[in-house]
Each structure stands twice: as C-alpha cells, then as structure tokens.
Amino acid sequence: MLDPNTPNTTYHLHRTREWTGSSGHRKYVYTAREYSDKYALYMLETSHRGDTQVNAADFYRVAEFPQPCISILLSGIDKKRISTDSSKDAAYKSRCIHLKGPFSQPIKEYPDRQQKIPWSPRRFTYGGRRFVWKQGDSDDDTMPESLYEYQNDWAKPGSRTGKRCDDARPMTKLVWGEKRKGGKVASYTIHFRGGMDQVFKEILLASQMARQVCLFTALE
C-alpha cells in the first residue's frame, strides 16, 4: 500500500516539433518538467512521416541524455485500417505499448479492444499486481489517462466488441492529469500518488508521453 502521508509528484508536460530534413519526417520532443515548471527532468523523442504512424520512441532522464532509460515500441495499425481511415484518424485507435528498460521484465500494456477508439482501457502487470489505464476525459483523447489498480476483470455482459469490466475503485486513482490553459500549444500536468517507487513512475510517465505523442500527430 502507498503511504498517504507521502506528497504526490507532479510533472508539467511540454511538446515541440522539429523538421528533420527534406524527407518529410517530423521529430517530436516532449519534455516533463518538475513542479516549478522550470527544469526538465525527462524527455521523450520520436519521429514519423505524415503518412505513417509512430511505432517507437525513446525516453530519457535529461541528466543522462543521450542514453535512453526506457525504449518504447508500439504495435502498428494494420494496412486495411490505414487504407480505409485517414492516417490522422488512425492515431486515435488503441495500440499495444511495450516498454523495455532497467527492470527485470519488459512491461506490456494491452488494450481491451485493439485498434478501436479510444486507447483505453489498457492493462498491464507490474510487481505481480494488476493495473489499468482508463480515459482521463471522455471528451478529450489527448488528456493524460488515469491509472487504477484492480484485482479481477471480466467480459462485459452483452458486449460483442471485447469490452471488459473490472473491480478498480474510481476513487483510488494512482495517476491523473489535466490540460493547462494558455499558450499556442496545449500543455499538460500529470500527477502521481505519493509513495510510488521511482522506476514505476518512470514507466508510467514514459507510457503516457508516448501515447500522447501518437495523438499529437493527428492534431498537426
């Protein structure tokens, strides 16, 4: 159990976009600053072309750049879906996220319904415990997701598309966020419940930043 007396951890997320050459590739740099919003502690980098999806990213501790601490792979959208949907619409469809870093086993997040809108619920196991990402705002897919721990999940009665239910308690969020107002480019704040170990926080932050960057490609 987490210590309720330990303060929460907050990061402010800011994004930039850089053109890299004449090939049409866009390089995305997404940073996480500490609570005062002055100093970047983490950074995520990836790139893509306008007609393809982001399929990999690297997550760095800024003090250790350019050595990534977590490498991220994202499952692809199948060609049939890309041919029938615009590339931008495909960015909103759920994908698997695999994170590999300085921990014993890669973390593998699997959505209940692959290649469906929205990205969540998405489930994974860490330290023998089960967690699920759920939508942070049903009206804004780019909002950071909320994280819950759960014990059991089951198929939603009557669902024909793979929807699932679980026993996560709505009032026990471990991670949550909000959009920050002001500025030409939206920025976000993400909060972590106090008492989490540092490696777990980095895994969760990398997952959220990678998912958001995929969605940002649809907003350009």
* pLDDT tens-digit readout, 66-110: 999 999 999 887 655 555 555 567 788 889 999 999 888 999 999
What CA–CA distance (Å, rounded) separates 50 from 59?
Answer: 22
Confidence of residue 21 (pLDDT cuts 50, 70, 90): low
pLDDT of residue 34: 95
What CA–CA distance (Å, rounded) separates 114 from 211?
Answer: 14
**What single string gives the DSSP state of each residue in 37-104?**
SSSEEEEEEEEE-TTS---EEEEEEGGGTTS-SEEEEEPPPPHHHHHHS-HHHHTTS---EEEESSSS
- CB-based contact 137:144 (threshold 8 Å): no
Q: Which amino acid type is present at position 75?
A: S
What CA–CA distance (Å, rounded) separates 42 from 66?
Answer: 11
**What single string gives the DSSP state of each residue in 171-212?**
T--SEEEEEEP-SSS-EEEEEE-TT--HHHHHHHHHHHHHHH
Determine which of 64-68, 141-145, 180-184, 189-193 has the lowest per-residue pLDDT on average. 180-184
Instruction: Note the pLDDT tens digit of each residue in 42-72.
Output: 999 998 776 678 889 999 999 999 999 999 9
* More confident position, 170 or 34: 34
Tell me the CB-side half-sphere exposure of residue 121, using CA atoms within 13 A.
20
The whole-number average pLDDT for the span 135-148 is 92
Confidence of residue 150 (pLDDT cuts 50, 70, 90): very high
* CB count in 10 Å sphere of residue 36: 8
Angle among Cα 116, 120, 124 to the nearest 5 degrees reads 120
Q: Which amino acid type is present at position 73?
A: L
